[in-house]
Amino acid sequence: MGDKEPKRIPNYVKFAFGGASGMMATVFVQPLDLIKNRLQLSGQASQSAEPKTSMQVVRSIIKNEGIRTIYTGLSAGLLRQATYTTTRLGIYTWLFESFSKEGVPPNFLTKAALGMLSGMCGAFIGTPAEVALIRMTADGRLPLAERRNYKNVFNALLRIYREEGLLTLWRGAVPTMGRAMVVNGAQLASYSQAKQSLVNTGYFQEGILLHFMASMISGLVTTAASMPVDIAKTRIQNMKNIDGKPEFKGPLDVLGKIVKNEGVFALWKGFFPYYFRLGPHTVITFIFLEQMNGAYNKYILKQEGVGAL
């Protein structure tokens, strides 16, 4: 008799594990998300006296808003992971298995394409939580009279819907989906490729060290590739109407104004908090995901040595 096909984790379990791993990672890195968002919004004319470095942002937050503020927007961050990461990792792991032939993983370009497709789908589903997250983390930088003061993510979503209309929940969906395509094409493909390459050296095998090293490589590649799109997304989702007109016309308008008024390197403003947020988030997400998949394979499917990606 030939070898039996290895049992596969059900798709609904993949989706659940993807979302859970992202939510657990967010608990660790939410303060870095707040710092990154504040830095990306700095430099605008209305807030010209803002802190310009990560340490200045941290000191300003602790001094003016209290240390507990560093977890502002956590509820939105968790909902974002529950929607965005559940969808993108669930779709990616399903597609990854579908495109693997006889145990041989797809090539790098196919991995990148699968990552871009899964990221685009996840971003559309997660955009309302993303809008709430950007606004909640940015609120403390505004004068008291201009703050939105959302109580939690559900209060934010309800108020945005009531005060600004349903479509505002998907404001910035196009750059959000564009960013997700860049992030996932780079992150998921580079993670899978880095993991495969590290195993091929003969020095690594399935385990936390392999997942950690592959995640750090993936995080660096993803940060460099996605920051310009991310800063455009952040500013669009936080913008207000001025004299009845939106502050920006679209992603290209944002990028053009940033380059003109702040310089081309402002497109990578907040690089280090972005990487130190994305890097650890990538590491923790994939480690949790790999461990949950490994446990399911071992204890439910009764097979070992099978990785997630």
- Reading the block at residue 123, the tokens are 């971003």
Average pLDDT over residues 175-197: 84
More confident residue, 186 or 306: 186
Q: Which residue has the higher pLDDT, 257 or 272?
A: 257
In angstroms, rounded to a whole number, what is the distance separating the alpha carbons of residues 301 and 7?
7
pLDDT digit string (tens) for 111-157? 888 989 998 999 999 999 999 999 999 998 888 888 999 999 999 99
Angstrom distance (rounded) from CA 194 to CA 199: 9
| Tokens at 217, concatenated | 């490589």
The whole-number pLDDT of residue 1 equals 45
On the CB side of 30, CA atoms within 13 Å amount to: 24
CA neighbor of 270 nearest in space, from 38, 31, 43: 38
- Is the pLDDT at 307 greater than 60? The verdict is no
Q: Averaging pLDDT over each range in 108-112, 170-174, 220-224, which range is the top one?
A: 170-174
Lowest-confidence range among 45-54, 171-180, 236-245? Answer: 45-54
Neighbours of 111 (CB within 10 A): 24
Domain spans in the chain, listed from the N-terminal domain onward: 17-300
Eight-state DSSP code of residue 104? B
CATH class for the region spanning 17-300: mainly alpha
Who's near 195: CB < 8 A, 6+ residues apart? 210, 211, 214, 307, 309
Q: Which of 3-17, 67-81, 85-99, 248-262 shows the highest mean pLDDT?
A: 67-81
pLDDT at 46 > cutoff 60? no
